Amino acid sequence: MLSVKNLPVGVQQPAYDRSALRTRMVHIGFGAFHRAHQAVCSDRLAAEQGSDWGYCEINLNNGEAIHALRQQQLCYSVAEMADDRLDLRIIGVVTQALHGQSDGVEAVINALSQPEVAIVSMTVTEKGYCHHPASGELNLQHPAIVHDLANPDVPKSLPGIILAAIRRRRERGLPPFSVMSCDNMPENGHVTRRVISQLARQQEPELAEWIADNLTFPSTMVDRIVPAMTDETHRALREQLGCDDPAGVVCEPFFQWVIEDNFVSGRPRWELAGAELVEDVLPFEEMKLRMLNGSHSFLAYLGNLAGYEHISDCMDDELFLLAARRLMLSEQAVTLRTRGVDLEAYADSLIARYRNRAIKHRTAQIANDGTQKLPQRWLDSIRWHLQHGSDFDLLALGVAGWMRYVGGVSEQGEAISINDPLRAELAQRVAGSREGSERVAALLALSSVFGHDLPASTAFVARVNHFYRLLLDQGAKRTVHQLVKPDY
């Protein structure tokens, strides 16, 4: 286990008085991304500016990282890795750590109800919001929401837990907090406000009005590649630390955090540690979601089908690299409202980051939760192209690649493990349809993903069917190659 005592020379340790930290933020979702992103920024702020804003870290489900954190004096390591270097930093900005299942939901609500808490943030992935991705509305049929409607004092869902804390703070006369999503969704603050407010209206309409008058929900855009830990990266940390760190993570050197400056009870001065505070995050969100996340998903599905295990492996294939860059610039950049940004330079910077071989970002990891990701990464862009009569072949190929992937069988005939909140429904639709246009129609009928407009678009359905047939006939690698370079 990690100990901050007797660490090797070169490991950057907390250069501040940790006892001076106050629990002013609660973060739900102590996953690898948060550990390598928001927590690092707050740690830099404490080290460089003397900030006293500390985190209470909460995981609602998986408890391994929380238990490891507790055994390590609430510290963990982050390694920034590039092809030729590894820089280690010990993060000490955590003041409390809770696991929802073992500590209980009452302990979680009490943590959120601490008087000094001014910000509640989260990284729980899109599925944690219990909403319909196509519309952004609360899914009232979600099992956790059904439970919370019947049991508001012992909630299970993220919206339900935050709402219970809001209710308790109001009853105790405590200041309101800001609720800040750091997940990859367009207008993630608006989505968060909507699901919490809609749940409040179902439970207690007056509370919904109080939320509208007193709370803020700042939107954010976050960007840093943080791959899942492997035996290799755990070994690299162990060699540098001289010990194991079960909570340690690795990431790329690049860091970006754009935050809507809309906080009701104050905030850390994150802009002094590399964040950008702006009035409107949406243009930055759309740029990142469509150009980075959209091309990531394209490479995840098509690359995995082609036999590429990592994003950097895809970049070794010149035509996959060209496909990703063309997708970014020809089919995604044209849909954006971003102004004053060199999008070609941005695309080139993304390709350079994808080529970092020290970051083993697995295509199968990025492929998870596709039903939650497709609407904002691809489908809104496709709607733009349909409206403007422009080409969207690479986006259509991406959709076909996702359909081929969720079929659950690789091109080599091996089983693909599908990790998705709609896994059971996907499996049912796959089992109940034949390969080809019938399979495409069955998957397009997922209205929570595709809405009702896209399945009714003959142009969209025709392009997806065309590429799905090509994937069946000649495989992902040849299909991508020939689309990018027809004479290949």
- Summarised one tens digit per residue, pLDDT across range 161-189 is 999 999 999 999 999 999 999 999 889 99
Looking at residues 428-439, what average pLDDT do you find? 97
Per-residue confidence (pLDDT) for residue 286, from 0 to 100: 92
Confidence of residue 83 (pLDDT cuts 50, 70, 90): confident
Tokens representing 360 are 């083993």
Confidence of residue 488 (pLDDT cuts 50, 70, 90): low
To the nearest whole number, what is the mean pLDDT of the chain? 96
Is it the case that residue 5 has pLDDT exceeding 80?
no
Strand residues in 162-286 grouped as ranges (E): 178-181, 220-223, 249-251, 256-260, 276-278
Burial 14-43 (b: 16+ CB within 10 A, else e): bebebeebebbbbbbbbbbbbbbbbbbbbb
Domains along the sequence of the chain with CATH: 18-278 (3.40.50.720), 282-484 (1.10.1040.10)
Place of tokens 């001014």: 118
pLDDT per residue over 306-328, tens digit each?
999 999 999 999 999 999 999 99
Q: Find, among 436, 430, 427, the residue nearest to 468 by Cα.
A: 436
Looking at residues 9-33, what average pLDDT do you find? 94
Please state, in angstroms and rounded to a whole number, the distance separating the CA atoms of residues 337 and 267.
28
Please state, in angstroms and rounded to a whole number, the distance separating the CA atoms of residues 43 and 51.
9
pLDDT per residue over 230-250, tens digit each?
999 999 999 999 999 999 999
Please state, in angstroms and rounded to a whole number, the distance separating the CA atoms of residues 135 and 275.
30
What percent of the chain shows pLDDT beyond 70? Answer: 100
Instruction: Give the H/E segment covering residue 366.
Output: helix 363-366
Looking at residues 388-399, what average pLDDT do you find? 98
Is it the case that residue 408 has pLDDT exceeding 90?
yes
Per-residue confidence (pLDDT) for residue 3, from 0 to 100: 77
Looking at residues 6-33, what average pLDDT do you find? 93
pLDDT per residue over 271-310, tens digit each?
999 999 999 999 999 999 999 999 999 999 999 999 999 9
Per-residue confidence (pLDDT) for residue 64, from 0 to 100: 95
Looking at residues 187-215, what average pLDDT do you find? 97
**β-strand pairing of 220-223 with 256-260:** antiparallel
Looking at residues 117-146, what average pLDDT do you find? 95
pTM score, whole prediction: 0.88
What percent of the chain shows pLDDT beyond 90? Answer: 91
From residue 197, alpha-carbon distances to 56, 122, 152, 164, 190 in Å are 24, 17, 14, 12, 10
Per-residue confidence (pLDDT) for residue 41, from 0 to 100: 98
Place of tokens 């939320």: 211
Tokens representing 124 are 């729980």
Is it the case that residue 487 has pLDDT exceeding 80?
no
